[in-house]
C-alpha cells in the first residue's frame, strides 16, 4: 500500500504486521512483551511478519525510541518502522539461543517444533547491523553473549550457526565483507583521472571496491561508508566539497 511519505524523504510503503494464530502476544516482565505458542508449532511454520512503514535512516531517527525498538532493518539505509501502536507481530524478543529464524527480509519461521507455552525468539544479529537497538542481553541462555550489538553479525561462530537464516540484507553484508579490498595504485589513478568528468560515478567505482559491493547504488554505498547522517545527506545531494573530501580520503588511504 502506498501513500505520502514522512518529511518528504521517503515514498511510503506499508508492510503487513502478522503473528500466527498458533501464538499470542503477552505482556511480561522485565522484557515488556513477548509471544508464546498456544498450540504446538511445527518446524518451518511462518510465525510472524514484521510490519510497518519503510523509511530511511534519516527519517527513522525522527520517530520515538519505543517505536524504533519495534522495527527491523532490511537494507543498508532502509528500515521497517514499527506501527505507531504495538501490534501482535511486534512482540518477538531476542535470544542468543533462538527457536525462530529469518525466512526473508521480514518473516520469521520456526527452526524446529515449538511446544505450547514456549516463547518465540530470534537472534537480532540475523536481521540488524545498525546501532539503533543495542542492549544488555537478558535471554538467560547458556551461550548468551551478554550484550546485543550492531556488530554481532561479524562473529564467525554466528555466521556459521546462522548461515541459512540470516536475512537477505545481512547475507549481502557477509558476502561483501569477504570481497572488501584496498584500492590498488591503478584503482586510485582511475579515480583521479575520471573524477573531473563525473565525480559521483568515479566514486561509485572506487566505493564498490572498498566495500565489497560490486553492484551497489550510490545511496547504498554512501550509507555503507558514512555513519554520520548529516554527512550522508551532503553526499546524497552531490555537495561538491563533500565529494572532494571523500575522493581525497579514498586516494590517500585507499580504504574506508
Q: Is residue 180 part of a domain?
A: no
Contacts of residue 58, Cβ cutoff 8 Å, sequence gap at least 6: 9, 229, 232, 233
CA 98, CA 120: separation in Å to the nearest integer?
Answer: 8
Parent domain of 191 = 185-253
Same domain membership, residue 167 and residue 198: no
Determine the average pLDDT of the residues in 28-53.
92
Domain final position from 144, 173, 202: 173
Give CA 21 to chain center in angstroms: 27
Residue 129 C-alpha from the chain's centroid = 5
203 and 124 in one domain? no
**Is 91 a domain residue?**
yes
* Count of Cβ atoms closer than 10 Å to residue 33 Cβ: 15
47 & 92 share domain: yes
pLDDT in tens, 93-102: 999 999 999 9
Of 13 and 29, which is predicted with more confidence?
29
Say if residue 200 is in the same domain as residue 139.
no
- Whether 112 and 226 map to the same domain: the answer is no
Same-domain pairing of 50 and 151: yes
Strands (DSSP E) found in 56-187:
72-75, 78-81, 93-94, 100-102, 107-110, 121-122, 135-136, 147-148
Q: Verify that 83 and 202 share a domain, yes or no.
A: no
- Which band of pLDDT confidence, cut at 50, 70 and 90, is reported for residue 8? very low
pLDDT at 254: 67
pTM for the complete prediction? 0.82
Same domain? 106 vs 217: no
Looking at the 3D structure of the chain, how many domains does it have? 2
Q: Cell numbers of 62, please? A: 525522527
Amino acid at each position: 500500500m502506498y501513500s505520502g511519505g514522512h518529511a518528504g524523504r521517503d515514498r511510503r510503503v506499508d508492510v503487513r504486521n502478522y503473528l500466527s494464530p498458533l501464538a499470542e502476544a503477552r505482556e511480561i516482565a522485565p522484557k515488556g512483551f513477548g509471544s508464546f505458542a498456544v498450540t504446538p508449532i511445527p518446524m518451518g511454520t511462518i510465525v510472524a511478519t514484521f510490519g510497518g512503514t519503510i523509511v530511511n535512516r534519516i527519517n527513522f531517527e525522527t520517530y520515538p525510541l519505543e517505536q524504533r525498538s519495534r522495527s527491523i532493518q532490511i537494507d543498508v539505509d532502509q528500515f521497517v518502522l514499527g506501527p505507531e501502536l504495538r501490534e501482535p507481530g511486534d512482540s518477538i524478543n531476542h535470544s542468543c539461543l533462538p527457536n525462530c529464524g529469518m525466512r526473508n527480509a521480514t518473516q520469521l519461521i520456526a527452526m524446529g517444533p515449538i511446544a505450547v507455552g514456549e516463547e518465540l525468539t530470534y537472534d537480532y544479529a540475523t536481521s540488524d547491523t545498525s546501532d539503533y537497538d543495542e542492549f544488555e542481553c537478558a535471554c538467560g541462555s547458556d551461550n548468551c553473549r551478554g550484550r546485543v550489538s550492531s556488530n554481532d553479525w561479524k562473529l564467525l561462530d554466528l555466521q556459521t550457526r546462522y548461515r541459512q537464516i540470516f536475512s537477505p540484507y545481512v547475507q549481502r553484508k557477509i558476502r561483501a565483507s569477504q570481497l572488501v579490498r584496498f584500492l590498488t595504485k591503478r584503482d586510485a589513478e582511475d579515480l583521479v583521472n575520471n573524477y573531473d568528468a563525473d565525480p559521483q560515478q568515479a566514486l561509485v567505482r572506487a566505493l564498490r571496491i572498498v566495500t565489497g559491493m560490486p553492484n551497489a547504488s550510490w545511496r547504498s554505498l554512501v550509507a555503507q561508508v558514512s555513519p554520520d547522517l548529516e554527512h550522508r545527506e551532503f553526499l546524497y545531494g552531490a555537495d561538491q566539497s563533500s565529494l572532494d573530501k571523500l575522493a581525497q580520503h579514498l586516494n590517500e588511504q585507499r580504504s574506508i
